[in-house]
């Protein structure tokens, strides 16, 4: 019986360690991407928002995104994410109110405008450009800090 | 045919480039509705639309373009008019190894100003270069104003400029060549920033039309001469203590202006002669920011611009000796209902504003900024100033006080609203008879972008 | 034998003079991992010694407190930081940390007889401090105590003191403390966008160094 308990504890610890290592390996991949992938960006935002666990995979993040019914089109093939779509993910995930045009026509264009206005983006605020993994993480960081400040 | 090919090539390059790199575009709609009780003004509404494009071209270059169109009820302007607001190609070239520096080059139409904002703050067509070093920044700019739509400019310095401004057949702004050299040295000592600036304003009107030549012996009220000016400025600004900041500056104004003066060598005893301009402008401003108390800010600003006791009018009004009235090219002004240019003026502005709802996160009025300004105006010298209602024969003294309240709100990132209400209470003895009534002014503005 | 003794003595002296200082993970909450040099990611533990070359990573809603000599660092969520250098010589301690992404609050105590040269590097900046309390995220700085010199990639700088903040956008010089105050106290009515900052053509910030030195 004791052996079984020890084995169970070992399995839990091992599983946790693997889960830990998995999320950091993903962050390592994101940081290495010059143009962050759609699935990786989705993983970042959804795990930051607590919608998925940080031990999830990017593929699981895509599935979770489809279930949110946010009106964000998911690409069939692996591709980069634009700043606009990343901004839209952030706006939806963190319930950021947005401007008048975002309320009337919610979408990547006005989501990018909003995050630029809020100061999350310090580089070119064009919604059509790609962004690096480093920049995506920094924008997410700024969004989390802003959300914290709203409390 | 050649023009069409060139235009087509430019369009193809621009369109092609949009698919290579990221770009952004949009529209901004502004409305200004104002009422002034001043004679000849009344209710004026102006609606502006700006269409803008920002196009990065590679790592170093950015192409910026915007056009603006206006619908106006101002009787002094056409109902509809438009202009290219900006059209520039800007390149940024950093050098990060040993001896780090930065070179910035901008070509085209852009907004340019000197460090005070009171002498020159205007768009121009030309070139601007900036050399950034660790301990200083040097900026050199050269521009031409003759291709701007005059209804978007404020460059009236000579009589011919004023006549063209009234002529509805003339659409372009006065032809001036503006050159500036500026050096800024941040934190030269005790966190104080030092600024130097040299501006040259060359009137090019004589290259395109006849102007009154020096030596003409009869007065011609329908024409005028050239007004060329140079400005040499120095400024110091920085923090005094936590939340307390100041700035101080001085400009020496020189140049030449055509003057109809007594001349012993003239057959009529008078003649047009170019007289030297020797003038000065000084300013001091102190601002105190108290973030803890509703993001409030209190400020005191003092401006002093020399006048000319011989001048009978603001434009080419000198009638003897040097012209001592300071003439800005196009800069900021103080006041709300009464807004004289910084010429023959001593003004002290006291202002305070706060954001009463800044602590209520997410509230639609969170960004509301409300404030008040009190600006007593004085004339430091007998003579004319920019406001024609002021009696040039009146000596130095108190002109009146401008009192205003204002509110600005940005309820959404893409919607801004502003309102102001001002009163000017004149000292009747300083004004011409019949022109000495108090002035009431109100304005509402909104800005929307998509 | 004598030579061996002398050499051993000199070696010991050298070790004492140039001893490796230690960074220690004192507290943490949430998901914090460390990657020692040459190893894989592993979960953090209280009072874990972090040798030179260790990378620390905080997850979502996770914090870590690291002690490095007279410096206490609060590592904020979603931060990736490496311990690049930790050396203590006679009267002087040198600590260099690489901030890959995220935000760190650093408090460097002034210690009598010890000069602590504390440096924080990021993809766009390096922060070197002696006796101050500030929060730094690569292109933003907020000073709570002391004086910090904030420099951009071409060494154009601003001195930021207690209660002040500054930021860098693209290749521009650091914003003056008054610019930050104006941004919060003034409401801009015009909705015209300011456009892309200089040198920002859709790329991430330039690699370079930004030095923050405390006087």
Please check whether residue B91 lies inside any domain of the structure.
yes
Query: In sequence order, what are the residues at sequence separation of 6 or more whose Cβ sits closer than 8 angstroms to the Cβ of residue B304?
Result: B280, B281, B282, B283, B345, B346, B380
Closest CB to A101: pick one of B23, B24, B414. B414
Are A93 and A69 in contact by the 8 Å Cβ rule? The answer is: no
Chains that touch C (3 or more CB pairs under 8 A): A, B
Please give the Cα distance from B339 to B186 (Å, whole number): 32
CA B42/CA B74 separation, integer angstroms: 9
Please state, as a whole number, how many other Cβ atoms lie within 10 Å of the Cβ of residue B47: 14
Q: Which two tokens stand for residue C211?
A: 């030095």
Cα separation, C33 vs C45, whole angstroms: 9
Task: Say yes or no: B21 contacts chain C, CB-CB below 8 A.
Answer: yes
Q: Express each pLDDT in C13-43 by its tens digit.
A: 555 545 556 799 999 999 899 999 999 889 9
B88: tokens are 């520039």
Q: What is the pLDDT of residues A111-127, one digit of tens each?
A: 999 999 998 998 889 99
pTM for this predicted structure: 0.88
Residue of A nearest to B448 (CA): A100
**Coil/strand/helix, residue B121:** strand
Q: Tell me the pLDDT of chain B (450 aa) as tens digits.
A: 667 777 777 666 665 555 455 789 999 999 999 999 998 899 999 999 999 999 999 889 999 999 999 999 999 999 999 999 999 999 999 987 777 899 999 999 999 999 999 999 999 999 999 999 999 999 999 999 999 999 999 899 999 999 999 999 999 999 999 999 999 999 999 999 999 999 999 999 999 998 999 999 998 888 899 999 999 999 999 999 999 999 999 999 999 998 888 888 889 999 999 999 999 999 999 999 999 999 999 999 999 999 999 898 898 888 888 899 999 999 899 999 999 999 999 999 999 999 999 989 888 999 999 999 999 999 999 999 999 999 999 999 999 999 999 999 999 999 999 999 999 999 999 999 999 999 999 999 999 999
Shortest distance between the Cα of B402 and any Cα of chain C, in A, equals 22
Please report whether residue B53 resides in a domain: yes
Q: Assign residue B238 a region: left if phi > 0, alpha if psi is -120 to 50, beta otherwise?
A: left
Residue A88 CA to residue A108 CA, distance in Å, equals 5
Interface residue of A99, A102, A107, A131 to substitute, partner B, most B CBs within 10 Å: A99
CATH number, domain containing residue B349: 2.40.160.100
Helical pair A2-32 and A133-149, crossing angle rounded to 10 deg: 110
Place of tokens 């952030």: A90
Distance from CA of A73 to the nearest CA of C (A): 23
Token pair, residue B250, equals 């001085």
CB contact under 8 A, A101 and B362: no
Structure tokens at A32: 């290495």
Tell me the C-alpha distance between B360 and C55, whole Å.
40
Q: What burial class does residue C104 get, using C-beta atoms within 10 Å of its C-beta: 0-12 exposed, 13-18 middle, 19+ buried?
A: buried
**Residue B199 forms part of a structural domain:** yes
* DSSP structure class, residue B74: -
The SS3 assignment for B449 reads strand
Residues 6+ apart with CB under 8 A from A91: A98, A102, A106, A111, A114, A115
How do B397-412 and B415-426 pair as beta strands? antiparallel
Domain ranges of chain A: 2-149
Q: Which residue of B has its CA nearest to C200?
A: B59
Residue whose C-alpha is closest to residue B35's, from B439, B447, B449, B450:
B439
The verdict on residue B13 lying in a domain is no
Q: In what order do the strands lie in the sheet with C212-213?
A: C157-161, C147-151, C212-213
Domain boundaries, chain C: 20-95, 122-187+206-215
- H-helix or E-strand spanning residue B102: strand B101-113
**Chain B residues closer than 8 Å to A99 by CB:** 412-415
**C99 to chain A nearest CA, in Å?**
12
β-strand B345-354 against B296-305: which pairing, if any?
A: antiparallel
Contact A47, A56 (CB under 8 A): yes
Residue C170: C-alpha distances to residues A84, B352, C16, C121 (Å)? 20, 33, 44, 17
H-type alpha helices, chain A: 2-32, 38-48, 58-68, 83-93, 100-104, 108-117, 133-149
Which H or E run includes B302? Answer: strand B296-305
Query: Is residue B208 one of the residues assigned to a domain?
Result: yes
In this structure, are residues B306 and B279 in contact, taking their beta carbons and an 8 Å threshold? Answer: yes
User: Domain tally for chain B?
Assistant: 1
Among A17, A124, A145, the residue with its CB nearest the CB of C201 is A124
List, for chain A, all residue ranges whose pLDDT scores fall below the cut of 70. Answer: 6, 8-22
Residue C67 corresponds to which tokens in the numbers above? 């002690």
CB contact under 8 A, C201 and B22: yes
Token pair recorded at residue B93: 């070239």
Which residues span the domain enclosing B190?
22-449
């Amino acid at each position: 019986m004791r052996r079984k308990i020890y084995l169970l504890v070992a399995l839990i610890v091992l599983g946790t360690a693997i889960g830990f290592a998995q999320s950091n390996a993903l962050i390592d991949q994101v940081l290495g991407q010059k143009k962050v992938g759609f699935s990786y960006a989705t993983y970042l935002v959804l795990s930051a928002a607590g919608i998925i666990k940080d031990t999830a995979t990017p593929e699981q993040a895509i599935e979770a995104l489809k279930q949110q019914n946010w009106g964000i089109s998911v690409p069939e093939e692996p591709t980069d994410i634009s700043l606009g779509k990343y901004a839209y993910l952030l706006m939806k995930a963190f319930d950021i109110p947005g401007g008048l045009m975002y309320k009337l026509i919610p979408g990547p264009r006005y989501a990018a405008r909003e995050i630029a206005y809020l100061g999350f983006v310090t580089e070119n605020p064009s919604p059509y450009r790609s962004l690096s993994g480093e920049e995506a993480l920094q924008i997410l960081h700024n969004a989390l800090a802003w959300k914290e400040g709203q409390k | 045919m050649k023009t069409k090919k060139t235009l087509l090539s430019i369009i193809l390059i621009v369109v092609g480039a949009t698919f290579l790199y990221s770009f952004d575009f949009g529209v901004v709609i502004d409305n200004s509705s104002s009422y002034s009780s001043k004679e000849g003004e009344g209710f004026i509404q102006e609606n502006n639309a700006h269409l803008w494009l920002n196009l990065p071209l590679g790592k170093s270059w950015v192409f910026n373009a915007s056009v603006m169109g206006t619908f106006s009820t101002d009787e002094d302007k056409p109902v509809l008019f438009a202009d290219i607001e900006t059209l520039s190609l800007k390149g940024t070239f950093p050098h990060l190894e040993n001896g780090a520096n930065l070179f910035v080059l901008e070509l085209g139409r852009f907004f340019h100003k000197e460090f005070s904002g009171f002498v020159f703050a205007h768009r121009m067509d030309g070139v601007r270069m900036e050399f950034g070093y660790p301990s200083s920044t040097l900026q050199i700019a050269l521009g031409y104003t003759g291709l701007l739509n005059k209804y978007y400019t404020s460059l009236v310095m000579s009589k011919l400029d004023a006549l063209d401004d009234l002529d509805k057949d003339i659409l372009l702004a006065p032809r001036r060549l503006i050159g500036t050299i500026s050096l800024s040295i941040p934190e030269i000592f005790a966190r104080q920033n030092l600024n130097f600036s040299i501006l040259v304003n060359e009137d090019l009107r004589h290259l395109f039309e006849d102007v009154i030549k020096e030596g003409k012996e009869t007065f011609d009220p329908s024409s005028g001469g050239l007004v060329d000016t140079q400005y040499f400025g120095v400024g110091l600004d920085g923090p005094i203590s936590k939340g307390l900041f100041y700035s101080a500056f001085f400009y020496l104004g020189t140049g030449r202006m055509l003057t109809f003066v007594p001349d012993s060598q003239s057959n009529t005893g008078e003649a047009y002669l170019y007289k030297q301009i020797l003038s000065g402008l000084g300013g001091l401003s102190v601002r105190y920011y108290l973030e803890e108390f509703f993001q409030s800010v209190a400020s005191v600003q003092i401006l002093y611009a020399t006048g000319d006791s011989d001048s009978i009018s603001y434009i080419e009004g000198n009638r003897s000796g040097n012209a001592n009235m300071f003439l800005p090219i196009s800069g900021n002004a103080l006041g709300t209902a009464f807004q004289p240019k910084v010429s023959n003026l001593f003004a002290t502005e006291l202002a305070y504003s706060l954001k009463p709802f800044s602590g209520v996160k997410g509230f639609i009025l969170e960004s509301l900024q409300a404030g008040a300004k009190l600006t007593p105006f004085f004339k430091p010298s007998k003579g004319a100033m920019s406001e024609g209602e002021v009696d040039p024969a009146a000596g130095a003294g108190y002109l009146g006080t401008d009192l205003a309240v204002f509110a600005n709100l940005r309820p959404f990132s893409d919607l801004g609203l502003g309102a102001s209400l001002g009163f000017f209470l004149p000292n009747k003895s300083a004004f011409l008879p019949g022109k000495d009534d108090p002035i009431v002014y109100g304005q509402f503005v909104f800005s929307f972008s998509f | 034998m004598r030579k061996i003794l002398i050499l051993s003595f000199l070696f010991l002296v050298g070790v004492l003079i140039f001893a490796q200082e230690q960074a220690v993970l004192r507290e943490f909450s949430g998901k914090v991992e460390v990657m020692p040099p040459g190893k894989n990611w592993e979960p953090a533990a209280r009072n874990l010694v972090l040798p030179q070359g260790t990378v620390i990573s905080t997850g979502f809603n996770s914090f870590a407190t690291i002690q490095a000599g007279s410096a206490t660092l609060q590592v904020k969520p979603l931060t990736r930081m490496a311990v690049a250098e930790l050396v203590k010589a006679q009267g002087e301690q040198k600590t260099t940390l690489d901030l890959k992404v995220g935000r760190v609050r650093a408090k460097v105590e002034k210690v009598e007889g010890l000069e602590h040269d504390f440096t924080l590097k990021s993809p766009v900046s390096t922060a070197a401090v002696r006796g101050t309390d500030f929060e730094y995220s690569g292109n933003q700085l907020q000073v709570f105590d002391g004086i910090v010199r904030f420099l951009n990639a071409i060494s154009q700088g601003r001195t930021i003191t207690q209660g002040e903040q500054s930021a860098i956008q693209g290749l521009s010089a650091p914003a003056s403390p008054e610019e930050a105050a104006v941004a919060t106290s003034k409401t801009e009515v015009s909705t015209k966008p300011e456009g892309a900052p200089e040198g920002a053509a859709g790329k991430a910030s330039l690699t370079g160094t930004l030095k923050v030195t405390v006087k």
